[in-house]
């Protein structure tokens, strides 16, 4: 049985009996899911190898994919890394973006966290979430909390407690239900090397925002890279193979965020051409007995009414933040309606659009169609 505590993020107090119980469970080595500003996390005491092993087991997560350690206060940083020798850029990023959706990969203090948290790496990924329930819970637990997203490995991340229960009910000890999350995609993971900020995973803090604080920021848009390759004579009509290069962030190599239906991302310069091509595919798929779905934007949703069984609108093209917030719920809704073939329109890789496209392309197993 998974226990559920319901909490109002606006009214949560440290003395709340549910919060105290959830914190005690974490301290005792149990697995407790909780809301953050990005997605729901599945927490355990980062110092306990046994508790952390419980996270990997519940998620079915590969053991070489390390976990992010969550703290509630900068004073906890010294337990995880040599805080006195922190590089200037990392310090500035923390000053500006913590609490918030930014994870920093830092040199790990030996023995600070269990070896399975870092998958044996000499570094530890740390963040301070900007959510009152998460902060109070971590503070009350009194330990660094290792917490990946609270979904079965490979599935879309949970942005509501109901998503967590759909994947992990009975597999974890408890869940704090604090309502829907705000940002909707995970934190940005960065590593600073010689003053240069390398974005290992795009997320809630955009590359543009990072650039305002740190001089050099290296971030790669996967869709732009695919487009560039096609311009160089690379594959242009349909399937683009996933990059073979060794991933800098171990989690980058795994299939992720995927709905059960076969998802293809469609991109190009002309919205009319995109919708015409998608409509044609929908007709073909229907004729073959597939149940079809489209992930689109408010501006285009009327284009598909007669062709698709399920049309999901993630938000307006004018509000990529809304699209990010709705993305995982939208992917899960195709599963809830047993959709077997899905086409998704692409978003500009600007601002949080970079993170949205990163997740969408992973969810599609990098099936991109350029029209
Ligand atoms: P998740 O917990 O599923 O949101 O994923 C956490 C992300 O952080 C994954 O992409 C991990 O590979 C990455 N990560 C965690 N720890 C490290 C680390 N020490 N070095 C590089 N990447 C890390
Ligand atoms: Mg995850």
Residue 189 alpha carbon, nearest atom of ligand 1: 8
The model's pTM is: 0.94
- CATH architecture of structural domain 222-370: 3-Layer(aba) Sandwich (3.40)
* Ligand 1 neighbours (beta carbon < 6 A): 65-68, 105, 118, 121, 123-125, 148-149, 186, 189, 200-201, 249-252
Closest CA to ligand 1's atom 7: 251
The answer for residues whose C-beta is within 8 angstroms of residue 221's C-beta and 6 or more apart is: 349, 354, 357
**Contacts of residue 207, Cβ cutoff 8 Å, sequence gap at least 6:** 199, 217, 219, 354
Task: Give 29-57 pLDDT, tens digit per residue.
Answer: 999 999 999 999 999 999 999 999 999 99
The full set of domain ranges for the chain reads 3-217, 222-370
User: Which one of the ligands is nearest to 151 CA?
Assistant: 2
Report the 10 Å Cβ neighbour count for 170.
8
Q: What is the sign, positive or negative, of the torsion defined by CA atoms of 99, 44, 188, 181?
A: negative
pLDDT at 247: 57
Structure tokens at 172: 């974890």
Query: Residue 173: CA atoms inside 13 Å, Cβ hemisphere, count?
Result: 17
State whether CATH 3.90.870.10 applies to domain 3-217. yes
pLDDT at 252: 65
- Where is 105: in which H helix or E strand? strand 102-107
The answer to whether residues 286 and 343 touch, using CB atoms and an 8 Å cutoff, is no
Residue nearest to atom 22 of ligand 1 (CA): 249
Ligand 1 centre from 64 Cα, in Å? 10
Q: In sequence order, what DSSP letters do the residues of 59-96 get, joined into one string?
A: HT--TTS--EEE-SSGGGHHHHS-GGG--HHHHHHHHH
Residue 335 parent element (H or E): helix 320-336
Looking at the CA of residue 117, tell me the nearest atom of ligand 1: 16
Low-confidence ranges of the chain (pLDDT < 50): 234-246
CA-nearest residue for atom 12, ligand 1, is: 251
pLDDT in the model for residue 56: 98
Report the candidate in 278, 252, 245, 267 with the shortest Cα–Cα distance to residue 358.
252
The total of other beta-carbon atoms located within 10 Å of residue 337's CB is 13
Say how far residue 248 (Cα) sits from the centre of its chain. 17
Peptide bond before residue 326 is cis, with ω within 30 degrees of 0: no
Residue nearest ligand 1's atom 3 by CA: 148
Closest protein CA for atom 17 of ligand 1: 125
């Amino acid at each position: 049985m998974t226990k559920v505590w319901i909490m109002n993020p606006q009214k949560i107090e440290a003395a709340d009996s549910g919060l105290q119980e959830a914190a005690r469970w974490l301290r005792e080595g149990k697995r407790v899911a909780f809301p953050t500003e990005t997605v729901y996390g599945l927490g355990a005491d980062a110092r306990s190898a046994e508790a952390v092993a419980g996270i990997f087991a519940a998620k079915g997560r590969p053991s070489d994919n390390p976990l992010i350690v969550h703290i509630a206060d900068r004073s906890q940083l010294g337990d995880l890394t040599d805080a006195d020798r922190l590089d200037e850029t990392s310090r500035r990023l923390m000053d500006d973006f913590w609490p918030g959706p930014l994870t920093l990969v830092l040199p790990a203090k030996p023995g600070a966290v269990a070896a399975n948290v870092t998958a044996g790496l000499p570094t530890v990924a740390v963040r301070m979430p900007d959510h009152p329930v998460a902060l109070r819970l971590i503070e009350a637990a009194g330990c660094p909390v290792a917490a990946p997203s609270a979904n079965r490995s490979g599935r879309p991340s949970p942005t509501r407690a109901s998503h967590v229960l759909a994947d992990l009910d009975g597999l974890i000890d408890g869940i704090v239900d604090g309502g829907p999350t705000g940002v909707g995609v995970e934190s940005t993971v960065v590593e600073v090397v010689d003053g240069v900020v390398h974005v290992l995973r795009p997320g809630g803090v955009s590359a543009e925002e990072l650039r305002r604080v740190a001089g050099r920021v290296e971030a790669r848009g996967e869709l732009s890279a695919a487009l560039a390759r096609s311009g160089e004579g690379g594959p242009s009509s349909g399937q683009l193979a996933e990059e073979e290069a060794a991933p800098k962030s171990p989690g980058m190599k795994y299939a992720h965020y995927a709905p059960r239906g076969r998802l293809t991302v469609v991109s190009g310069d002309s919205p009319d051409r995109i919708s015409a091509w998608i409509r044609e595919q929908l007709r073909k798929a229907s004729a073959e007995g597939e149940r079809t779905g489209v992930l689109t934007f408010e501006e285009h949703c009327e284009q598909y009414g007669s062709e698709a069984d399920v049309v999901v609108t993630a938000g307006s093209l004018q509000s990529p933040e809304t699209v990010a917030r709705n993305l995982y719920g939208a992917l899960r809704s195709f599963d809830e309606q047993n959709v077997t073939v899905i086409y998704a329109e692409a978003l500009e890789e600007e601002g949080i659009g970079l993170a949205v496209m990163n997740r969408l392309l992973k969810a599609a197993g990098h099936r991109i169609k350029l029209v």
